[in-house]
Structure 1
Amino acid sequence: MTTISTTTGPAAPRPRGGVVQSVRDSLVVAKRNLIRMLRIPEVVIFGLIQPVMFVVLFSYVFGGSISVGGDTSPAAYREFLMAGIFAQTVTFATAGAGAGIADDMHKGLIDRFRSLPMARGAVLTGRTLADLVQTTLTVVVLAVVALIVGWRTHTSLGEVLAGFALLLLLGYAFSWIGALIGLSVRTPEAATSGGLIWLFPLTFISNAFVPSDNMPTFLRHIAEWNPFSATVQAARELFGNLPPGYPVPDAWPMQHPVAASVMWSVVIVLVFRTLAVRKYRSATV
C-alpha cells in the first residue's frame, strides 16, 4: 500500500479578533509612528512653522482691513481669525497623514504589517492617532503664539477646551481622508499634492478668514454648509470670539454650529474610515 502524504506550508497568521485586541494593536502602531516622529524632529518643526507664519501674516497684514460685525479694529479681526487658523492647521495635517501612509506603502512596510496577526484596521487607526498627537502639539504651540499677538478668549475654561476638542475632532476626521488618499496613490509626493489641492478651496470658501455674508450667493451657501465652516463657527462661539453685531447666517449649521460640527466630523470618520480600511485590504493583497 502506498501512503500519499501532503505537506502544506505554514498558514498565514490570522488577525486576532475583539475590540480590546484591536485597540491594543492600534496603540502599538501609534507608538511606532510617534517614535518615528521623534527621530525626525524636523518634520514636527516644519509643521509648526507654517501655522505660526499664517497667524503673524494674517494678523498684521489683514488686521484692520476687514470689517467684522462693523468693527475694523485689528484686535477684532485677530479674535475672529484665530478659530479659522486653528481649523486650517488641523485640516492641513491631512497631507502629512496621506504622505506617511503612501511612504509606508512604497517601502513595503504595510505588507509586513499584513503578515502579522493583528487587526486589519489597526495600521490606519494607529497612524491617524499618532497624527492626532502631533496635531495637538501644533495647536498648543499655535495657541501660545496667538496669545502673544493679542488673541483672547472670553468664556469659561470648559468652553475653551470644548472648542479645541471640536477642532481636533475635525482634524482627526480629515486624517482619514488623508489615509484614503495615501492608499490610492503611488508616491508620497503625489499624496502630499493630493492632500492639499482640495483643502485650499474647502478652507477659503468658508467663514474662516472673512465673513461669508459678503460672498456671492452660491458661494455663500457653500460656505454656510461647509463642515469646515461649522467647526470654525462653533469654535468662535465657544471661545467667545464673535463680536457684538456679527450677523449669524440663517443656515442650520451656522445656527447650531456645535451640533453640526460634531455631526460632520462623525460622518466623515465613519465614511472615510470604512473606505480607507477597504482600500487597505485590496491595495496590499
Structure 2
Amino acid sequence: MSQSITPTSNLDSAIAPALPSPGISEFIQETTALTRRLFIQLQRRPTTLVAGVIQPLMWLILFGALFQNVPKGLFGESQNYGQFLGAGIIVFTAFAGALNAGLPVMFDREFGFLNRLLVAPLASRFSIVVASALFIGTMSLIQTTAIVALSAVLGAGLPGPGGLLLVTLIVLTLVFGVTALSLGLAFALPGHIELLAVIFITNLPLLFASTALVPLSFMPTWLQVVASLNPLSYAIEPIRYIYLHSDWSFGSIVMQAPFGDISLGLALGILLVFSATALLTIRPLISRRIA
C-alpha cells in the first residue's frame, strides 16, 4: 500500500500561521526587562549614581568660585560665571554619561552574557540599544535635576516650565545620539581597554572645544570654527539662552558662529540630525555584530 507523505515545505507553511510573529508588545517587554536589569545593577552599586551626581556639582561650585570675581558682562549677558557655566555642566555631564554607555555592553561581551542574551528568542535585538538609551537618559535627567537645583541656589535662576521642558528634550536628544555612538563603539572595538581609550581621548577635547567654559568670542578663530562644529555647543547655547531669556522663541539667535547666526530652532534641528545620523550609522554595525 502506498503512503502519501506531505512535503516538509507544506508542513512548514501549515504550521507557520500558528506561530505568532513578535510584535511591538514583545519589543516593549524585552526593552523593559533589559532596562530593569540595568537599574538592578545600579541598585547594587549605588555609588555610581552618587558619584555621577556629586562630580558635576563639585565642578559647578569650584569653577563658579574660581571665576566669581570676574567683571560683570565679561561672559555675555550672564550675571556671574556660575550662571554662564550651568548650561555647560548640564550638557557635558549628560555627554560624559552617554559616552560611557557602551561599557556595560562591552563587559557583557567579554563575560559572555551578551552571547547568552543573543541566543534568546528576542523580538528585536535592537531592544538592547533602546534599553541602554533609556537607562542613560534617566541617569542624565537625575544629574540635570541636581545641577539645575544647585544652580538656582547659587543664583543662576530657574527657567519657566516651558524652558525646563525644552532643556529636558535637549539633554535627551544629545544623550540618545551619543549613547548610540558609544554602543556602536562597544560592538566595533575588540575590548574595554580600547573603548576606555576612546572615551579618555574624546572627553576633554570636546569639552574645551565647545562653549561650555567660555564664549566663542574668547577663542581664536580656528577654535571658534571647531566649537561651531561641535554638537555640544548646539546643546549648550540653547540651554544658556533659555536661562537668560524668559521670552525665548525658536527664532531667537543663540550663537553667532563664524559662518552665520544660529537660531534656537536651527540648533535643535542640528541636534536632531546629529542623533538621527548616529542611530542610522551604528544600526547596520549593531545588526551585523549581534546577528
Q: Which residue of 1 aligns with 2:52?
A: 47
Alpha-carbon deviation of 1:188?
3.0
Q: 1:94 aligns with which of 91, 98, 103?
A: 98
* 1:204 corresponds to 2:189: no
CA contact (8 A) 1:120 1:277 kept: no
TM-score under structure 2 normalisation? 0.80
Q: 2:286 aligns with which of 255, 271, 280?
A: 280
Tell me, in whole angstroms, the C-alpha distance in 2 between the residues paired with 1:211 and 1:60: 18
Q: Which residue of 1 aligns with 2:271?
A: 265
* 1:38 corresponds to 2:51: no
CA contact (8 A) 2:184 2:285 kept: yes
Q: RMSD between aligned alpha carbons?
A: 3.1
Tell me, in whole angstroms, the C-alpha distance in 2 between the residues paired with 1:192 and 1:68: 40
* 1:233 corresponds to 2:244: no
Q: Residues 112-123 of structure 1: matches in 2 within 5 Å?
A: 112-118=116-122, 119-123=124-128
Change (3 A) 1:49 1:199: same
CA contact (8 A) 1:33 1:130 kept: yes
Q: Residues 1-285 of structure 1: matches in 2 within 5 Å?
A: 16-65=21-70, 69-70=73-74, 75-118=79-122, 119-153=124-158, 155-240=159-244, 248-250=255-257, 254-261=261-268, 263-284=269-290
| 1:131-176 superposed Cα distances (whole Å, 9 cap, x missing partner) | 11111111112222222332213x4221232123212321222111
Higher mean alpha-carbon deviation, 81-90 vs 212-221, is at: 212-221
| Stretches of structure 1 lacking an aligned partner (at least 5 in a row) | 1-13
Alpha-carbon deviation of 1:58?
0.9
Alpha-carbon deviation of 1:231?
1.1
Q: Percent identity?
A: 20
The residue type paired with residue 173 of structure 1 is G
Change (3 A) 1:278 1:247: closer
Q: Which residue of 1 aligns with 2:9?
A: none
Tell me, in whole angstroms, the C-alpha distance in 2 between the residues paired with 1:162 and 1:37: 27
Tell me, in whole angstroms, the C-alpha distance in 2 between the residues paired with 1:64 and 1:47: 28
Alpha-carbon deviation of 1:85?
0.6
Tell me, in whole angstroms, the C-alpha distance in 2 between the residues paired with 1:107 and 1:130: 21
Change (3 A) 1:223 1:58: same
Change (3 A) 1:266 1:278: same
Between the two proteins, the alignment pairs up a number of residues equal to 269
Change (3 A) 1:53 1:189: farther
Larger radius of gyration: 2
TM-score under structure 1 normalisation? 0.82
Alpha-carbon deviation of 1:20?
4.2
Tell me, in whole angstroms, the C-alpha distance in 1 between the residues paired with 2:28 and 2:259: 36
CA contact (8 A) 1:79 1:241 kept: no
The residue type paired with residue 284 of structure 2 is R
| Stretches of structure 2 lacking an aligned partner (at least 5 in a row) | 1-18, 247-252
Tell me, in whole angstroms, the C-alpha distance in 2 between the residues paired with 1:122 and 1:96: 18
The residue type paired with residue 28 of structure 2 is V
